[in-house]
Amino acid sequence: MEAERLRVAMFSTMVTGGAGYAALRVHDSLRLCGADSTLYVGRAERASHPGVTRLRDAEEGCQPPWRPGHTIFSVDPPGIPGATLDRIISDADVFSLHWYARFLSLRNIARMCGSGKPVVMTIRDMNPLAGGCHCFHGCENWKRDCLPCPQFLPQDLPLPAATFESKRALWNLDNITVVVLSDFTHGLIGQSPLFRDCRVEKIGNPIDISLFKPCDPARARAEFGVPLDKRAIAYLPSFSSSVKGSAQAMEALRAVARVVSPQDCVVVCAGGLDEPLDVPFETINAGFIADKQQLARFYASADVTLISSTEETFSNTAAESVACGTPIVGFQVGAIPEIAQGVRGRAVPINDTDALAGALVELLSGERSPPSVLHNYIVETFSAEEIGGRYLRLFEDLRAGARTRATTQARVVEDVPQDAVASRFDRLMRQYREKRLIEIAADEEAWARERRSLRGRIALLSRAARLFFSDNRAFRRQVRNLLSERR
């Protein structure tokens, strides 16, 4: 008799971006390995994909505006309505949570944890470990209680600490298994008051080895205008967040220029680059590359790829570059120390830009190994069959030992009853929404005054764009209703 197919309910806010695309690859890998996987998403995608279902009734809620230099900060959303989630829970054997911010609410996850069915949480950034941030930016308060929070405004509202406390109180952490993408993240889990007693498994991201593979470097260089007689450093700059390490990259490249002649080397960039980098080398800007096959050729056009992020849970860039036969240099974060070994590259201590520069010089000056050697490592370690099989074995093991009934016992945090924690959290959420509503309403009133001038209309469009990406439609309707009442 054929074994019953494992029914997996996966959750990811989106399937674009590094974390969303990785979740989609896990979903495809599970289906390839025989699982009945459904990936539920909160945001519309450009095209349909087998097994991907958008939950249109899930709400993001009002979110904080982006602060320059920081990554986004997320507050608890309304999430998936209970009736919708209950149907998903009844049909699934196991729940696989990926990048779920602004999609799943704390109570959505509590509902899954209390179902008696296993919950597996893949740590794709720091948001699950903290009270709302997605990167720590040097803060260590997540190791205690997220109080105070240097990234959240208004600072007189302790919502991050209440969010952190609510995770500990509302979630049945005994029913959560944590998947980390690297040894580095495994070390962070060991310091987390939330997850340090959970079962932890390391499973990396699946890499599409049919796309990310070696190609003719001469043709790749011709496509991006990289001279054949020069050494080339691939770099994917991001200036939106300090943890992407753009300042460290510039410092390291300037140090490289003191050893390697600027006439003998170029930096090939892909991504957001409005003007040439402030470095002595020629900069070739390939622009934003959405096509994965073209991205593979971008990696192949260089002798080494520079990854200067100071916070990572994995680094798709590292794995993709090595899959294309190009070694990497980066800091000891995410899976970079595991990938960048031997001929595959170098990993140096975080923020040590002299060591970063030295590693770049070493790889630029030495002979490259055959690209197939690097590619084979990725095939053996991060292929869809390998990663999908590891997830499937974990899920089947958890299903076999799953509890047969839902957990009903209330959890206690520092002698504070569960209902008291939830009530405090709800009260602070109401206060936050009121403050955010007033803030946006004030902007709306300013727009009404400013739109009579050209400068005012430009400011209006800028603010409108910001709000479009930080607040959902339902929340903006509330703003319009409030303004109409005032008039």
- Cβ–Cβ < 8 Å for 132, 63: no
Q: What was the pLDDT predicted at 457?
A: 58
Q: Helix (H, G, I), strand (E, B), or coil: what is residue 464?
A: helix
Give φ, ψ of 253 to 5 degrees: -65, -35
Q: b/e per residue, 34-60, with b = 16+ CB within 10 A?
A: ebbbbbbbbbeeeeeeebbebbeebbb
The count of other CB atoms within 10 Å of the CB of residue 462 is: 10
The residue-averaged pLDDT of 309-327 equals 98
The residue-averaged pLDDT of 476-480 equals 50
Residue 86 sits at the vertex; the CA angle it makes with 169 and 59, to the nearest 5 degrees, is 75
pLDDT band at 312 (very low <50, low <70, confident <90, very high): very high
Parallel/antiparallel/unpaired status of strands 304-307 and 119-122 = unpaired
Going edge to edge, which strands form the sheet with 345-348? 282-285, 265-269, 231-235, 304-307, 328-331, 345-348
Q: Look at residue 481 and tell me whether its pLDDT is greater than 80.
A: no
Residue 266: its H or E element: strand 265-269
Q: Which two tokens stand for residue 252?
A: 């390291």
Asked whether the CA dihedral 132, 423, 153, 165 is positive or negative, the reply is negative
Reported as half-sphere exposure (CB side, CA atoms, 13 A), residue 141 has a value of 18
Distance CA 295, CA 282 (A): 20
Q: What was the pLDDT predicted at 436?
A: 85
Q: Which two tokens stand for residue 296?
A: 């593979």
Q: Look at residue 445 and tell me whether its pLDDT is greater than 90.
A: no
Per-residue pLDDT tens digits for 348-396: 999 999 999 999 999 999 888 999 999 999 999 999 999 999 999 999 9
What whole-number percentage of the chain has pLDDT above 70?
Answer: 86
Q: Nearest CA to 124 among 53, 211, 26?
A: 26
Q: What was the pLDDT predicted at 1?
A: 33
Average pLDDT, the chain: 89
- Cβ–Cβ < 8 Å for 234, 321: yes
pLDDT band at 439 (very low <50, low <70, confident <90, very high): confident
Q: Look at residue 413 and tell me whether its pLDDT is greater than 60.
A: no
The residue-averaged pLDDT of 218-225 equals 96
Per-residue pLDDT tens digits for 125-182: 999 999 999 999 999 999 999 999 999 988 899 999 999 999 999 999 999 999 999 9
Distance CA 142, CA 23 (A): 25
Q: What pTM value is reported for the model? A: 0.88
What whole-number percentage of the chain has pLDDT above 90?
Answer: 75
Q: Which two tokens stand for residue 266?
A: 């170029």
Per-residue pLDDT tens digits for 152-166: 988 899 999 999 999
Q: Which two tokens stand for residue 318?
A: 């590292």
